[in-house]
Amino acid sequence: MGYVDVAGAGFVLPDGRELFADVSFRVGEGAKVALVGPNGAGKTTLMKMVAGDLPIQSGTVARSGGLGVMRQFIGMIGDDRTLEDLALSLVAPTLGAAGERLRKAVAALDETEKSQIAYANALTHWGEAGGYDAEVLFDTVTVAILGKPWEEARSRIVRTLSGGEQKRFALDLLLRGSDEVLLLDEPDNFLDVPAKRWLEQRLRESNKSVLYVSHDRELLAETADRVVAVEGGGAWTHPGGFTSWHEARSNRHERMEENRRRWDEEHEKLKELVFTLKNKAAFNDGLASRYQAAQTRLRKFEEAGPPPLPPKDQAVRMNLRGGRTGKRAVICEGLELENLTFPFDLEIWYGDRVAVLGANGTGKSHFLRLLAAGGSDPDIEHKPVDGAPLAHVAHEGKARLGARVRPGHFSQTHDRPELLDKTLVEILWRGDEHRSGMDRAGSMKVLNRYELAAQGDQRFGTLSGGQQARFLVLLLELSGATVLLLDEPTDNLDLASAEALEEGLKAFDGTVIAVTHDRWFTRSFDRFVLFRGDGEVVEVPEPVWDVR
């Protein structure tokens, strides 16, 4: 059985800011340990340090047993990896290297003796590394997740799978694999509710040691043996499950406030004592030694420093404005998404809050991308206002946007390659055809509302998933969109940010259409459109999670 020990770990960002310090925790053999905390507190950075993706700046990280890692994002736009590439990236490094060697040998194979010998050697090396057992595992997983054998699926481009299919493939491969320690960063993102329940059961049944990051409260409550909270520049461990974590955190904060209050009181007493003895010693030489002793005591007390205050809760304020549009915001007539749905009709009215529900791979994200591109007959008025790249969506029938509708699209994979190497201030300051741009002071002001001011000079590509999500919502706020098309917007948001988004959507003067598997978030909507697994698209009176 494997384990992970983190002792005194610290990390300083490239700009010199300390992200966290003196973080210590243990993932014991067979334990399921959840990392929780605000977006940007350092959860993903800690995961990368444990995985070996980032250097250990201070402290130590010890591991035992094979290590399997699933990172936060798998298949991004512009990522042309195949399913075979993904599978080889999830197995042991020696096996992955043997697989890559075999692929190159196959690609170079011709009638020459040299290429044939190279192929034979690569094939032998693949077998010795455990490749044939791996192929059986790959086949088992692709049949279970995609319903196809490995030979048919291995060349498929990963980004052509839905986000949920990508995650389930990676999770099933890791959970069935031989690695004894798993690091899972946001494993529930993009999963529909039945898939989340599947993941909960698999984690409970697994004897592997698992360290994972999640914001799904139900999954945390069902699976976490203990909780490591990363907040306030450090971390602390709650030995119980997530159900009792909130109460433990509240009690801990109360103790911290009480300790700080007592420290402040003792500090004031010492300062008063020093002041009193100083005045008395001026008239009585016999008190000089007591005065010096009091000074020494005060100096040592202040050098030791006060106990920490509880970390400040986030105060994200989203000011989503929108604007009046025609009464009918979206009109679908005989719309059929190729190989995904049967023809369906749908009218969405100005001000509606529509939750788009259904299993992974049923066409929900394709539907949003079609609307974001302007529908089936886009014109300049309906081009997306947020600058996100949109692939063509094959379809029949019509999907029209109403008068004065300006769609703003939020992608579940945050696929904005044009932003990756720019700082947040640069993105806001330079502006684009939709935003005239604001000066640095204005940029920092709006970033502060989203708790992103400290990241103003940080590149978008280096932000945590939750910070990226908040910034993309900010771009929607500034874009002038009158219809928000949100694809899994809460997946990477911590609780405070998700609540801020919900409040912002309540005040939004426009129409909201959101694909979501977040059971809590869905309760804030008033219409529910279900993409069923049999290709039918229907409106239902209340949320439906198990589409069987």
Total domain count for the chain?
3
Side-chain-facing half-sphere of 307: CA atoms under 13 Å: 16
In this structure, are 194 and 295 located in the same domain?
Answer: no
For residue 63, give its domain range: 3-242
What DSSP character marks residue 249? H
In this structure, are 393 and 282 located in the same domain?
Answer: no
pLDDT digits (tens, 9 = 90+) for 108-145: 888 888 989 999 999 999 999 999 999 999 999 999 99
Q: What is the CATH number of the domain that holds 509?
A: 3.40.50.300
- Rounded to whole angstroms, how far apart are CA atoms 428 and 422? 10
Instruction: Report which secondary-structure segment, H or E, holds 471.
Output: helix 465-479
In this structure, are 289 and 383 located in the same domain?
Answer: no
In a domain, 316, yes or no: no
In a domain, 501, yes or no: yes
Does 434 score more than 70 pLDDT?
Answer: no
End-to-end Cα distance, the chain:
38
What does the pLDDT read at residue 498? 85
Does 475 score more than 80 pLDDT?
Answer: yes
In a domain, 318, yes or no: no
In this structure, are 233 and 346 located in the same domain?
Answer: no
In this structure, are 37 and 172 located in the same domain?
Answer: yes
What does the pLDDT read at residue 398? 92
pLDDT digits (tens, 9 = 90+) for 415-432: 788 888 899 998 888 654
Query: Is there a contact between 473 and 445 (Cβ–Cβ < 8 Å)?
Result: no
In the block, tokens 């549009």 appear at: 325
- Rounded to whole angstroms, how far apart are CA atoms 354 and 242? 31
In a domain, 18, yes or no: yes
Residue 385: what residue type? Answer: V
Largest CA distance in the chain: 106
In a domain, 315, yes or no: no
What does the pLDDT read at residue 382? 44
What does the pLDDT read at residue 377? 62
Give residue 339's region: left, alpha or beta (phi > 0; psi -120 to 50).
Answer: left
pLDDT digits (tens, 9 = 90+) for 357-397: 988 778 998 999 999 988 766 543 444 555 444 556 889 99
pLDDT digits (tens, 9 = 90+) for 10-29: 999 887 889 999 999 999 99
Q: How confident is the model at residue 295 (pLDDT cuts 50, 70, 90)?
A: very high
In this structure, are 465 and 337 located in the same domain?
Answer: yes
496 class by beta-carbon count within 10 Å (0-12 exposed, 13-18 middle, 19+ buried):
middle
What does the pLDDT read at residue 436? 47
In a domain, 187, yes or no: yes
Query: Across residues 215-234, what is the average pLDDT?
Result: 90
Query: Is there a contact between 468 and 414 (Cβ–Cβ < 8 Å)?
Result: yes
In this structure, are 284 and 364 located in the same domain?
Answer: no
- Rounded to whole angstroms, how far apart are CA atoms 26 and 23? 10
Query: Is there a contact between 54 and 185 (Cβ–Cβ < 8 Å)?
Result: no
Last residue of a domain, one of 217, 242, 267: 242
Percent of the chain with pLDDT over 70: 93
Query: Across residues 492-511, what is the average pLDDT?
Result: 87
In this structure, are 271 and 345 located in the same domain?
Answer: no
Q: Where are the alpha helices (DSSP H) in 147-244?
A: 150-153, 163-176, 193-205, 217-223
Does 286 score more than 90 pLDDT?
Answer: no
What does the pLDDT read at residue 38? 84
pLDDT digits (tens, 9 = 90+) for 315-329: 777 888 888 888 999
- Rounded to whole angstroms, how far apart are CA atoms 391 and 376? 13
In this structure, are 278 and 237 located in the same domain?
Answer: no
Bridge partner list, 181: 67, 209
Q: How many residues does the chain have?
A: 548
How much is the mean pLDDT over the chain? 87
In this structure, are 470 and 416 located in the same domain?
Answer: yes
In a domain, 547, yes or no: no
Q: How confident is the model at residue 92 (pLDDT cuts 50, 70, 90)?
A: confident
Query: Across residues 206-218, what is the average pLDDT?
Result: 91
In 338-426, which ranges are E strands?
344-349, 353-358, 395-401, 407-410
Bridge partner list, 347: 331
Last residue of a domain, one of 242, 273, 289: 242
Q: Which residues contact 272 (CB under 8 A, 6 or more apart)?
A: none
What does the pLDDT read at residue 255? 94
Query: Across residues 261-267, what is the average pLDDT?
Result: 95
What does the pLDDT read at residue 14? 84
In this structure, are 263 and 222 located in the same domain?
Answer: no
Query: Is there a contact between 229 and 247 (Cβ–Cβ < 8 Å)?
Result: no
In degrees rounded to 5, what are phi and psi of residue 18? Answer: -85, 120
What does the pLDDT read at residue 391? 54
Q: Is 23 helix (H, G, I), strand (E, B) or coil?
A: strand
Tokens of 108: 């170079």
In a domain, 317, yes or no: no
Q: 314 versus 151: which is more confidently predicted?
A: 151
What does the pLDDT read at residue 430? 63
Instruction: Report which secondary-structure segment, H or E, holds 211.
Output: strand 209-213
Percent of the chain with pLDDT over 90: 51
| Angle, alpha carbons 86-89-94 (nearest 5°) | 145
Tokens of 183: 């690091």
In this structure, are 270 and 414 located in the same domain?
Answer: no
Alpha carbon of residue 524 to chain centroid: 21
